[in-house]
Amino acid sequence: VEALVVEMQDPKSGLKFEEQKLVTTTVPHAIAEAKAFGTMMVAYGYIYPLQDHKRLILKVDASLYRFQVTLETLILCVQCPELPLLRKHASNVTLTLCTCGIAQTPYFWPVQHWRAEDTDYAIYLAKRNIRKKGVLELYEQEHYNNLHKWMNHKWDFIVMQAKEQYRAGKERKKSDRVVLDCQERAYWVVHRPPPRTASAMDYGLDRLIDPNAEENKTVDYYRRIIIFNSQAIMRPKVKSTVSLGALVKFSSTFKNHDPFLAPCLPSNPWLTDDITYWELNLPRVEVPTKMRVERWTFNFMELLNDPCGRADFRLFLKKEFSGENLAFWEACEDLKWGSAEAMKEKAEHIYKMFLAPGAPRWVNIDGKTMDITVKGLVHPHRYVLDAAQTHIFMLMKKDTFGRYMKSPVFKDAQKKALSPQPHTFTNAQLEQNARNRKPGIHPIILHQQEEEEKAKLAASGPVDIKQIMSKLDRRTDLKK
Amino acid sequence: MCDQTFLAITFGPCDNCSETKPLMNIYVKNEPINYCSLCVERMACQGLGPNETLATLKTESETLKTKLEEERAKLHDAELHQVAEKVEALGQFIIKTRRTLKGHGNKVLCMDWCKDKRRIVSSSQVRPFRWRRHEHAVTMPCTWVMACAYAPSGCAVACGGLDNKCSVYPLSLDKNENLAAKKKSVAMHTNYLSACSFTNSDMQILTSSGDGTCALWDVESGQLLQSFHGHSADVLCLDLAPSETGNTFVSGGCDKKANVWDMRSGQCIQSFESHESDINSVRYYPSGDAFASGSDDATCRLFDLRADREVSVYSKDSIIFGVSSVDFSLSGRLLFGGYNDYTINVWDVLKGTRVSILFGHENRVSTLRVSPDGTAFCSGSWDHTLRIWA
């Protein structure tokens, strides 16, 4: 910013201000950028408003032409500690300002490295006090009293400096004095902001570790780099065309589902205050919408992540007698993300239910994976079932998912799905909606409902393959 | 999706100490080995071998770095905007503030959405914690609450900041209940907490801290499950991958690096160092194959995880203030960035151009999140307000 302001003040190419209203045509986008930029310049005190000096914000005038700010060609790059790096500009636009602001002289720029010392502030306040008693604002008076208290030892020096500056000021031309006074006042508004205003100098917290400090380059520093890079080199990578193509494809696939790119049906609740859209898309609904069902076809995870989708998939699996795969996957997820305490018990339960020879819901995983898993279960860990879970997941993804898409269960869901019409609210109705805003069902209640459902599902009992087999056997026996 | 993470063995007996633990997959002289994190540490800290000096190690590390760059460059056969050439351009956008939430008495530092898409939790300096829609304030004994997160079930929130801790507060239907009484201290870092996030359940929290580490905690017991070392300065942000197996996360720090970690073993599996200043915010692309980061160098960048490189830089000469927070829209086509110059810029991710600039805040935008169903996004600012945009 500093460099930019330097350019601005260059009498030939830079700012023309103080009197005129210059009209410069600009590209519409630039006006928006310029506004942002102008706001920053005021906030940091590079330009300060004459009236209303306490609030350092840029006011945009009603008529667009009074306020036209565009950007100037930079020649230098400036690095300053508070503001990020500036880069060379190729564009060539002029920066002009209207009468509402005056630029600060470089002496008072925040980027100057001398810190706004309390001593200086004390001198400034004292000086103003000398000039006219009772001119200090309440917050300034408070500051003054505080400074007087803990800078008492220096007070003679401060008063002397103040008197000196006051005397020197009197010897200047009136116009110079006024300008300097204004600048000084603006400077202190930035560095000692009045209460309940924000200061642009505020940058948040200091970082703990100084990233610019040289790192101690010991043996382990290099070894770690070696270890990391060795594995990074061996890590399989894909060609850019492939991976970028996938990103583009994803974006196109979901385009119609993005509320910012395509309208929500019936309407976006934030725009019309009508919550139909949210009600139709609650986690568990009787009948999902067409858009929702369409998402299930995009990829397997979309299907599983949607409670309705998962329920539909579970229905399909029940008909195929392969429900144990999904149940196993869910149990593994529960183990991974569950609390540490319950882990051991869960792992044992899963083994008994899904992995042990002759288990009621035995899952079919290859010998090697089964071997690793069983060995790991001796000392259970939250990731002990990782290999098995991945195997089952890939099985479902590559095989079962495809068959589900072609199944009558899914086709049925597609047929039944709702297709809400776009809203037809009049302006009056929209106002009515806004007045009737209500908070939704409390998530705690929703959660309780979900837990109840889960319990019901578990209680209904898993399909016991042995029972079914024995039932089938009995039936064939009867037929004989 | 990084199929590689599927095939890697991340749990089993360590090749060195034979204990059955989470494993890191590393290479020694091009041979793959599976060591537990303790053995990897030992390996890193061992003294110089017979033919080694600090200089030889330095040269070896430089050679490897160059080799990695070469490998990456070999596969770089297209730019994002080229691949996206045929994609339709975006139309005009009318995004406006639909709600302004006032009530914080001080700078808003962080916010998070509830899965119900309507509630948010936000935290601020001094008056730390609010839970929207049903105003519920909790005072915490620390000045800056820089991180807050809503639990997936909607039944709890977590927050933390300068107190070096992450605490979980179970929520209740009773508006008058004193939430501070039921608070549970979960994470303990040696310095300020910069970000926190629940994993897929209410039982685990992932945190990042000014002490340079990230950590995974068990909520009930407060036990440290895994720690992640590798950043050489404060870690400022993190985001969990939406990928199928949900086993990775990305973190960004003041050392200008964005690291991708395997949650199971604590191993840093990918690292990107192209920013020129502190990385304030990282967010995964909705497919999980890429992530965006926002930094004090006034740029947002997109990193492709499968190609292992930076693929796009979102910047303009006229933007010179740092990005505090980024998030993607539901399809990943739009990237919203909150900047320190009080504005929000909306970028077209695929074409690399800016689509819109939004005004409204009167101080820097400190946090920005898109709602879970993508219908709106919320921005919090140092001007004490939160705004919902749609």
Q: What is the DSSP letter of B161?
A: S
CA distance B287 to B54: 42
CB contact under 8 A, B234 and A443: no
SS3 content of chain A, % helix, strand, coil (to 5): 55, 0, 40
Instruction: Confirm or reject contact between B56 and chain A (CB < 8 A).
Output: no
d(Cα B154, Cα B288) in Å, to the nearest integer? 24
Collapsed DSSP state (helix, strand, coil) of residue B389: strand
B166 Cβ neighbours under 8 A, 6+ residues apart = B147, B158, B159, B160, B185, B186, B187, B193, B196, B205, B207, B217
Residues in chain A within 8 Å Cβ distance of B42: none
Share of chain B above pLDDT 70, in %: 90
pLDDT at A115 (0 to 100): 53
Q: Which of A84-93, A324-333, B194-203, B216-225 has the lowest mean pLDDT?
A: A84-93
Q: Print burial letters for A110-148: b (CB count within 10 Å at least 16), e (below 16).
A: bbeeeebebebbbbbbbbbbeeeeeebeeebeebbeebe
Question: Looking at the predicted structure, is the pLDDT value of residue A87 above 60?
Answer: no
DSSP A66: G
State yes or no: cis peptide before A266, omega within 30 of 0.
Answer: yes
Residues of A whose CB is below 8 A from B363: 198
pLDDT(A395) > 50? yes
Decide if B310 touches A, using CB distance below 8 A.
no
Phi and psi at residue B385, to the nearest 5°: -120, 165
Predicted confidence band of residue A27 (pLDDT cuts 50, 70, 90): very low
pLDDT value of residue A116: 58
pLDDT surpassing 80 at residue A216: no
Q: What pLDDT is stored for residue B281 in this prediction? A: 96
Q: Is B65 on the interface with A (CB under 8 A)?
A: yes
Ranges of each domain in chain A: 1-67, 118-191, 315-416, 429-470
Give me the total of CB pairs closer than 8 Å, taking one residue from chain A and one from chain B.
354
Per-window interface: B 79-118 vs A, CB < 8 A: 79-80, 83-84, 87, 90, 93, 95, 98-99, 107, 114-118
Around A51, how many Cα atoms within 13 Å sit in the side-chain half-sphere?
Answer: 3
Q: Say which amino acid occupies B372.
A: P
Higher pLDDT, B8 or A7: B8
The answer to which of A220-234, A252-266, B140-154 has the lowest mean pLDDT is: B140-154
| Cβ–Cβ under 8 Å, residues B351 and B325 | no
Q: Over the stretch B171-199, which tens digit does the pLDDT of each residue have?
A: 877 766 666 777 889 989 999 999 999 99
Confidence of residue B276 (pLDDT cuts 50, 70, 90): very high
Asked whether the predicted pLDDT for residue B55 surpasses 70, the reply is yes
C-alpha A385/C-alpha A351 separation (Å) is 10
What residues does B314 pair with on adjacent strands? B300
Confidence (pLDDT) at A98: 30
Over residues B164-173, mean pLDDT? 85
Tell me what pLDDT residue B142 has. 56
Mean pLDDT, to the nearest integer, of A407-420? Answer: 92
- Residue B224 has a pLDDT of 93
Split at pLDDT 50, 70, 90, the class of B50 is confident
Contact B113, B133 (CB under 8 A): no
Q: Under 8 Å CB-to-CB from B209, ≥6 apart: which residues?
A: B164, B189, B190, B191, B192, B193, B194, B215, B234, B235
Q: Report chain A residues whose CB lies below 8 A from the CB of B276.
A: 85
The C-alpha angle A185, A190, A191, rounded to 5 degrees, equals 95
State the greatest distance between any 2 C-alpha atoms of chain A, in Å, as a whole number: 124
Angle (CA) B212-B216-B220 rounded to 5° is 135
Q: Over chain B, what is the mean pLDDT? A: 87
Whether B102 contacts B86, CB under 8 Å = no
* Distance separating alpha carbons of residues B104 and A301, to the nearest angstrom: 38
pLDDT in tens, B24-44: 888 888 888 888 888 888 888
Mean pLDDT score, B131-149: 61
| Placement of tokens 């997160």 in the chain | B149
Query: Would you give the distance in Å from CA A259 to the centre of its chain?
Result: 17
The pLDDT tens digits of the residues spanning A111-136 come to: 554 455 777 888 888 888 887 777 77
Confidence of residue B18 (pLDDT cuts 50, 70, 90): confident
Q: How far is A208 from chain B (nearest CA, A)?
A: 6
Taking the C-alpha atoms of residue A283 and residue A454, their distance in angstroms, rounded to an integer, is 13
Per-residue pLDDT tens for A171-215?
888 888 887 887 788 777 777 777 766 666 666 666 766 666 666
Write the burial class of residue B288 (CB in 10 Å: 0-12 exposed, 13-18 middle, 19+ buried).
buried
Both structure tokens of B34: 């599976």
Q: Is B59 on the interface with A (CB under 8 A)?
A: no
Evaluated on CA atoms B33, B39, B45, B51, the torsion sign reads: negative
CB contact under 8 A, A376 and B154: no
Q: How far is CA A36 from CA A50, B94, B254, B358, in A?
A: 20, 18, 26, 10
The confidence score (pLDDT) of residue A470 equals 60
H or E stretch at B58: helix B54-74
Which range has the worst mean pLDDT, A93-107, A359-373, B78-92?
A: A93-107
- pLDDT value at residue A400: 94
Contact B365, B324 (CB under 8 A): yes
Q: Is B159 on the interface with A (CB under 8 A)?
A: no
- For residue A440, the model assigns a pLDDT of 72
Could you tell me if B282 lies within 8 Å of chain A, comparing CB atoms?
Answer: no
pLDDT bucket at A17, cuts 50 / 70 / 90: very low
| More confident call, A17 vs A5 | A5
Decide if pLDDT at A19 tops 70.
Answer: no
Say if CB B385 and CB B102 are below 8 A apart: yes
Structure confidence at residue A74 (pLDDT) = 24
C-alpha distances out from residue B15 to A231, B23, B36, B37, B299, Å: 16, 9, 8, 11, 43
| Topology annotation, domain A118-191 | 1.10.1240
For residues A284 and A42, the model is more confident at A284
**What per-residue confidence (pLDDT) applies to B329?**
96
Sign of CA dihedral B339, B344, B349, B351: negative
- Residue carrying the six token digits 């934030």: A270
- Say how many CA atoms lie within 13 Å of A441 toward its Cβ: 13
For residue A113, the model assigns a pLDDT of 45
**The pLDDT value given to residue A221:** 86
Q: What's residue A88's pLDDT?
A: 27
Burial class (CB in 10 A: 0-12, 13-18, 19+), A25: exposed
Residue whose C-alpha is closest to residue A436's, from A281, A259, A263, A272: A272
Confidence at A20, pLDDT banded by 50, 70, 90: very low
* Residues from chain A contacting residue B68 (CB–CB below 8 Å): 229, 232-233
pLDDT of residue A161: 85
How confident is the model over A360-384, as a mean pLDDT?
87
State the ipTM, two decimals.
0.91
**For an interface test with B, which of A260, A389, A444 has the most B Cβ atoms less than 10 Å from its Cβ?**
A260
What is the edge-to-edge ordering of all strands in the sheet holding B365-370? Answer: B97-101, B386-389, B377-381, B365-370
Compute how many other C-beta atoms are within 10 angstroms of the C-beta atom of residue A468. Answer: 11
Interface contact A84-B383, CB threshold 8 A = no
Check pLDDT > 50 for residue A71. Answer: no
Alpha carbon distance A330, A307 (integer Å): 12
B2, B35, B61: best mutation site toward chain A, by most A Cβ within 10 Å?
A: B61
CB B313 within 8 A of CB B351: no
- B336 versus A441: the higher-pLDDT residue is B336
What confidence tens digit (pLDDT) does each residue in B82-100 have?
Answer: 999 999 999 888 899 998 8
Among residues B278, B290, B201, the alpha carbon closest in space to that of B239 is found at B290
Whether A209 sits inside 8 A of B254 (CB atoms) is yes
Q: Which residues are registered as beta bridge partners of B166?
A: B160, B187
Residue with tokens 């086993």: B247
Judge whether B308 is closer than 8 Å to chain A, CB to CB.
yes
Average pLDDT over all residues of chain A: 74
Q: What are the percentages of helix, strand and coil residues in chain B, rounded to 5?
A: 10, 45, 45
**Which one is predicted more confidently, A100 or B75?**
B75
**Residue A100 contacts by C-beta under 8 Å, 6 or more apart in sequence?**
A49, A50, A59, A61
CB contact under 8 Å between A198 and B200, yes or no, is no
The position carrying tokens 């939160």 is B386
**Based on the number of CB atoms within 10 Å of its own CB, is A461 exposed (0-12), middle (13-18) or buried (19 or more)?**
exposed
- Distance CA(A18)–CA(B266), nearest Å, equals 61
From residue A230, how far is each of B61, B71, B100 by CA, in Å? 9, 12, 50
Residue A59 CA: distances (Å) to CA of A39, A65, B358? 8, 13, 16
Residues A38 and A57: beta-carbon distance below 8 Å: no
CATH of the structural domain A1-67, one choice from 3.20.20.30, 1.10.357.10, 1.10.10.10, 3.90.1150.10:
1.10.10.10
**Amino acid in the structure at residue A89:** H
pLDDT at B141 over 70: no
Choose among A424, A412, A413, A416: nearest CA to A276.
A424
- For the residues A77-96, what does the mean pLDDT come to? 27
Q: Does A315-416 carry CATH code 1.10.167.10?
A: yes
Q: What is the dihedral of CA B315, B319, B325, B330, to 10 degrees?
A: -50
Instruction: Kindly state the DSSP code that residue B296 receives in the 8-state scheme.
Output: T
Compare A99 and A11 and report the one with higher pLDDT.
A11
CA distance B17 to chain A (A): 15
